[in-house]
Amino acid sequence: LLAVTVSLLFLSFTFSSCRKNLPENRIVGSWKLVDVERKRLFNSETITTGYESGTFTFFANGMASFTDAAGTLNGNWNMRKSRDGYYDGNGNWQTDERTVFIINVQDFPNNRVINLYFDRIDFRWSGDKLFAFIDGASYRYRYDFRRQ
């Protein structure tokens, strides 16, 4: 009986720990876009998107907002596993599984819309830093988000 109880406790701890580390659970909270880098084969450059002055907030129910000095945009976010192919930043075709991250927020009365589709993501620093990538055949954009 003791062995069964210990096994059940271990399994419940294991599953609850895994759920906490799922990307869709790690994204919940407020994030600031600190840097966007466009990389090509032989060069890279920092670009400005206009979103650096605001804060993205992602809620557990899939809702999202972006707030800056001009106001608040509301909408949703989504993460899902994808197994279709894509081009990496070096123009090579890849077929590995990746997590796709989509942000759609808008303020239609003020004609403001943000629609971002990231081909893959990578959490760093125990989840306080997020790299989100848009990959093309001859370039790669790397968005650097930091938890607030």
- Distance, in Å, from the CA atom of 145 to the CA atom of 128, rounded to the nearest integer, reads 8
Render pLDDT for 33-73 as a digit per residue (tens, 0 to 9): 999 999 987 899 999 999 999 999 999 999 999 999 999 99
pTM: 0.78
Instruction: Look up residue 132 and give its two tokens.
Output: 């989100």
Residue 91: CB atoms within 10 Å? 14
Render pLDDT for 82-109 as a digit per residue (tens, 0 to 9): 877 766 656 777 777 889 999 999 999 9
Mean pLDDT of the chain: 85
- Distance, in Å, from the CA atom of 3 to the CA atom of 17, rounded to the nearest integer, reads 21
- Distance, in Å, from the CA atom of 4 to the CA atom of 58, rounded to the nearest integer, reads 39
- Distance, in Å, from the CA atom of 139 to the CA atom of 99, rounded to the nearest integer, reads 19
Q: How confident is the model at residue 14 (pLDDT cuts 50, 70, 90)?
A: very low
